[in-house]
Amino acid sequence: MNEMTSIQTTLKDWETDQEVRWCPGCGDYAILKAVQRTLPAIGADPANTVFVSGIGCSSRFPYYVESYGFHTLHGRAPAFATGIKLANPELDIWLVTGDGDGMSIGGNHTMHLLRRNLNCQIMLFNNEIYGLTKGQYSPTSRVGTPSPSTPGGSVDRPASPCAFALGSGARFVARGYDISKKLPEVLQAAYEHKGAAFIEIFQNCIVYNKDRFDDFTAKPVADDNQIWLEDGEPLLFAKGTKGLAMDRDACCLKIVDVVDGDWQAAGVTVHDVKNRALAHMLIDLRVAPRFADFPMALGVIYDDPRPTYEEELLGQDAKSREGKDTDLGKLLAKGQTWTVEG
């Protein structure tokens, strides 16, 4: 986020005149709407907002938001964002990337952006597939994913974007999914976090990986297979009938039944967004095979701000400039000189 004067806008103000070129029914439409709802809610100024993306379906995003936008190179959006932010820290930067763009070709840049803690929002649309190149398996595809490049099923184990982010030193990690009504809330929380805010957004690629996340996003199973995290609130799901508690012997989370809403009696753990160890455990739920039967942890998993990269770097620069002479002539004549008389 950026501290700036709040501007009154509506969802319409954030729509461009460009024809949206995603496939009909693509989850990206829902994410676009969620973002266009969030921007007025946070009082963002279109002139001061920059959407930066890499390459891939998700990276077409900037063309559809009425703000400044830079559609860059495959995987490199974090590097462009770094230059933009250091050149003008007043700008509010949203980075749009995908599982191929951000975790494969651009994994290195994603890691360094997070570790440096550049103040921006990183939305990683995870559809577990390469869409724009027509359906190859991606670094987040599950083992056994059949695809044009893996007709016999993929054999390599998937990367977990949130675990990657946390391991890279991210100070804000959250999850949502395309059609979730709560997505704007998650985006707003990301915006309010000062520093690099990483949001993994599960996104339905209806052409190459249709309904991949139905096991926890479909209406009939959503309550039982999702857990929405709230700081300071107990880890409850299934309409409050179940909760997550610490299994002290195994040093991991376990599912407990909650009777009559008495979560304390059931020993349910209270969510603490500043607890990094807990964040690691929550990220693994439903993703790691050992916790496959657990609900998917959604919402703000971790949020523990630290000074931002641009504050520290530009602050150090400003300090080093103090009292220094800015006469170019003197700079050119620095060091040992001698005069040749005429």
Partner 1 sequence: MATSLAESKTPAATPGTAAPEAVVVRFAGDSGDGMQLTGGQFTLSTALAGNDLATFPDFPAEIRAPQGTLFGVSAFQINFGSTDITTAGDAPDVLVAMNPAALKTNVDALKPGGLIIADTGEFSKRNLDKAKYDASPLEDGSLSKWDVLAFDISAMTVEAVKPFELGNKDALRCKNMWTLGLALWMFDRDREPIAQWLRDKFKKNPVLADANIAALNAGHAYGETAELSGPLKKLHLDPTPTQPGLYRTITGAEAVSLGLVAGAKLAGLPMFFGGYPITPASAILHNLVRMKEFGVTTFQAEDEIAAICSAIGASYAGQLGVTSSSGPGLALKTEAMGLAVMTELPLVIVNSQRGGPSTGLPTKTEQSDLYQAVYGRNGDTPLPVVAARSPSDAFECAIEACRIAVQYMTPVILLTDGYIGNAAEPWKVPDPSGFEPFPIKFLESKNGDDQLLPYKRDERGVRPWIKPGTPGLMHRIGGIEKAIDTGDLDYSPSVHQTQTDARKAKVDGVANGIPPQDVCLGNEGGKLAVVGWGSTFGPIHQAVRRARAKGHDVSHIHVRHVWPLPGNLGDLLKSYEKVLVPEMNTGQFKTVLRDQFLVDAKPFNKVSGQPFTIAELESAIEAQLD
Count of positions on this chain that bind partner 1 (CB under 8 A): 58
Site for partner 1 in 281-310 (CB under 8 A): none
68 neighbors 88 (Cβ within 8 angstroms): no
Q: Should residue 262 be labelled a site residue for partner 1 when binding is judged by CB under 8 A?
A: no
Q: Which residues pair with 226 in a beta bridge?
A: 296
- Residue 102: which residues within 8 A CB-CB, separation 6 or more? 54, 75, 77, 110, 122, 124, 161
Stretch that binds partner 1, among 73-81, 96-104, 234-242, 250-258 (CB under 8 A): 73-81
Q: How many CB atoms lie within 10 A of CB 330?
A: 9
Residue 49 Cβ, how far from partner 1 at the closest point, in Å? 8
Q: Should residue 71 be labelled a site residue for partner 1 when binding is judged by CB under 8 A?
A: yes
Q: Should residue 250 be labelled a site residue for partner 1 when binding is judged by CB under 8 A?
A: no
User: What are 179-183's contacts with CB under 8 Å, separation 24+?
Assistant: 179/27, 179/30, 179/204, 179/217, 180/217, 180/298, 182/228, 182/298, 182/299, 183/30, 183/31, 183/34
Which residue from 10, 88, 149, 264 is in contact with partner 1, where contact means CB under 8 A? 88
Residue with tokens 């070129």: 21
DSSP characters for 111-155? HHHHHHT-SEEEEEEE-SB-TTTTS-B-TTPPTT--BTTBTT---
Question: Side chain identity at 154, as an amino acid letter?
Answer: S
Which residue from 73, 132, 238, 288 is in contact with partner 1, where contact means CB under 8 A? 73
Stretch that binds partner 1, among 30-38, 65-73, 159-167, 211-219 (CB under 8 A): 65-73
- Residue 243: which residues within 8 A CB-CB, separation 6 or more? 234, 235, 236, 237, 255, 256, 258, 263, 266, 268, 269
Q: Should residue 46 be labelled a site residue for partner 1 when binding is judged by CB under 8 A?
A: yes
Q: Should residue 48 be labelled a site residue for partner 1 when binding is judged by CB under 8 A?
A: yes
CA gap 93, 69 in Å, rounded: 10
Decide whether 47 or 292 has the Cβ nearer to partner 1.
47
Stretch that binds partner 1, among 106-114, 124-132, 189-197, 217-225 (CB under 8 A): 106-114
Q: Should residue 336 be labelled a site residue for partner 1 when binding is judged by CB under 8 A?
A: yes
Q: Which residue from 21, 23, 19 is spatially nearest to 205, judged by alpha carbons?
A: 23
Decide whether 78 or 295 has the Cβ nearer to partner 1.
78
Q: Should residue 68 be labelled a site residue for partner 1 when binding is judged by CB under 8 A?
A: yes
Stretch that binds partner 1, among 120-128, 226-234, 247-255, 316-324 (CB under 8 A): 316-324
Which residue from 42, 84, 96, 162 is in contact with partner 1, where contact means CB under 8 A? 84
88 neighbors 57 (Cβ within 8 angstroms): no
Stretch that binds partner 1, among 46-54, 259-267, 282-290, 295-303 (CB under 8 A): 46-54
List of residues contacting partner 1 (CB under 8 A): 16, 18, 46-48, 50, 52, 55, 62-63, 66-73, 76, 78-88, 90-91, 108-109, 111-112, 313-314, 317, 320-321, 324-326, 328-329, 331-342
